[in-house]
Amino acid sequence: MDVIPVIDLKGGVVVHARMGRRELYRPIETPLSPTSDPLDVAGGLMTVFPFTTLYVADLDAIAGTGDNRAALARLRATFPALTLWIDCGIADRAGATDWLRSGLGHIVLGSETLTDTSVVSHFTDDDRALLSLDFRGDAFQGPPTLFAQSQIWPARVIVMTLDRVGSYAGPDLARLRAIKARARSVYAAGGVRDAGDLRALQSDGIAGALVASSLHNGQLTAADLRSLPA
C-alpha cells in the first residue's frame, strides 16, 4: 500500500487542515517541524519514513485568491527525488498542459473546481494526471457527468472526503468500496487514524492513502509503515 503524506499550503506556509473548513485553517504546529515553512514540514515528514510521493494542496490557487507556486518550486528543488502530486485548482485543458510542462509535479484535477468532463477526458491516459473525487458529506462536489462517466477517469483516483480530513473519524470505507468497483486504482483521503485503518483499506483493495494528522500526532509511526504488506 502507498502511504502519501499531505501538506496544505496557504499564504506560503503549511496549515492544519480540518474537516474542509478552509477559512479556519491556521499555520500548522507539529513536533515534526520547528516552523510551518513547507521545507521544514516536508523535511520533518521525511524523518518519519522515506516517502517517495508527497501530495500538496495549494489552497490559495484552489480558492482563486493567489497561489503558492514559489513554495512549490522550493519543494521541487529541495526534494528532487520526491514525486509531487499537486492540486492547484486548475480547471481547463490549457492550464493543465502548461502546468505539466513546468515540471513542478503531477497534476491533481480536483472535481470541486471542474465545470465539465473535458479536462479529465483529455488526460485519461496520462500517468502525470490524477483525478480527485471530492465529497462534502454525501454530496459530490463537481459535475454529475464526471462522477457518472468512470470510463474517462485516469488510472489513479483519489476519493477525498473533505469533512473527514483531520477529524480522526476513520476513512469512509463504504464509499471507497463503491468507487473501487468503478476505478482502476483508488487512494483514500480523509480520516485515516492509524495502521489499523490502513490495513482495513488494504484489505478492501485500496491502492493507497493520503495522510497528515496521524503522522503529526504520532498515531502512525515508522514501525507501522514498515509493517504494512507491500
What integer pLDDT is reported at residue 158 of this predicted model?
98
What integer pLDDT is reported at residue 3 of this predicted model?
97
What integer pLDDT is reported at residue 167 of this predicted model?
62
8 A C-beta contact, residue 111 and residue 134: yes
Q: Where exactly are the structural domains of the chain? A: 2-227
pLDDT in tens, 15-27: 986 655 666 577 8
Count of residues in the chain: 230
8 A C-beta contact, residue 153 and residue 124: yes
What integer pLDDT is reported at residue 24 of this predicted model?
59
8 A C-beta contact, residue 51 and residue 225: no
8 A C-beta contact, residue 176 and residue 147: no
Q: What is the pLDDT along the chain (230 residues), one digit of tens a residue?
A: 999 999 999 999 999 866 556 665 778 999 999 999 999 999 999 999 999 999 999 999 998 999 999 999 999 999 999 999 999 999 999 999 999 999 999 999 999 999 999 999 999 999 999 999 999 888 999 999 999 999 999 999 999 988 777 667 789 999 999 999 999 999 999 889 999 999 999 999 999 999 999 999 999 999 999 998 76
pTM for the structure as a whole: 0.94
Element (H, E) at 120: helix 118-122
Q: Which residues pair with 86 in a beta bridge?
A: 56, 107
Place of cell 480520516: 191
For the four alpha carbons of 107, 15, 218 and 171, in that order, the dihedral sign comes to negative
* Half-sphere exposure at residue 49, Cβ-oriented, CA atoms within 13 angstroms: 22
Q: What is the dihedral of CA 170, 175, 180, 184, to 10 degrees?
A: -90
CATH fold for domain 2-227: TIM Barrel (3.20.20)
